[in-house]
Amino acid sequence: FNEPAEHYLERIQANSRRLLGLINNFLDLSRIDSGQIQVDLLPLAPVSLAQRWRDELSVLAQKKGIDLDVQVGGRVPELLYGDEDHLSRIGVNLLSNAIKFTESGSVTLRLASTQDTWSIIVTDTGIGIPEAAREFIFDEFRQVDGSTRRKYGGSGLGLAIVKKLVTIMGGHIAVQSEIGKGSTFTVTLPLKLVEEGEGDKIVRDTL
C-alpha cells in the first residue's frame, strides 16, 4: 500500500473497532438490565489477570506515549474467587477510559487488598472530571459535556456497564478527580480466598 491508502485503511480499522465496541456495549447493557448476567465465582490469579489487561492495552498506550504500569499491594493473594469475564470487562473498560482521556503522563493499575475486600484501582494523569459531573458519569449515555464527546468519542456506556457489573458482584466504585491533574477510579469487591488445594488447577495453568 502507498501512504494514503495505509492511512485510510487504519481509519477504517479504527472505525470498525469503535463500532464493534459500541455494539458490544449495547448487548452487555441489554443483558444486564434484563437480568441475564450471572456471576460465576471461580479460582483466578488476580495479578496474572491484571497483567493480561495491561498487555491488551499496551499498544494503545504506546501510540499516545503513555506509560501503562501494574502495581500490586503486598496483601493481594495469589488466588481468589472471582468472575474473570466480568472482572476483565471492568478492568479493560477502566483502563481504556483512562488512556482515552490522558494525553501525556501515565496510567497505573493497582491491586490492593484488606482482610475482607480487594480493590482494582486505576489512576491517570488525564484531563480530570469536574465535580458536578462526578454525580452522573456512571449514568448511561452521559459524558462530561458535548465537547468531550466530540473530541474523544465514545458512547457514554463504558462506565455505566462497569458500575452495573460491580454492583452485581456485591461491590462498589468510587472516583476522585482533579481538573488538569487526573482521576482515580477505585473498585472494591468482597474478598473470597481460595482454600488450600482448591486452586491447584489454576496454579498449574498459570505456570
Nearest-10 Cα torsion for 68, 17, 143, 90: -50
pLDDT digits (tens, 9 = 90+) for 55-90: 999 999 999 999 999 999 999 999 999 999 999 999
- Between 74-88, 116-130, 135-149, the lowest mean confidence (pLDDT) is in 135-149
Q: How far is Cα 93 from Cα 119, in angstroms, rounded to an integer?
A: 15
Could you give phi then psi for residue 140, rounded to 5 degrees?
Answer: -70, 140
Cα 96-100-106 angle, rounded to 5 deg: 85
179 has pLDDT over 90: yes
Grid cell, residue 71, equals 502495581
CA atoms lying within 13 Å on the CB side of residue 142? 14
100 has pLDDT over 90: yes
What does the pLDDT read at residue 144? 56
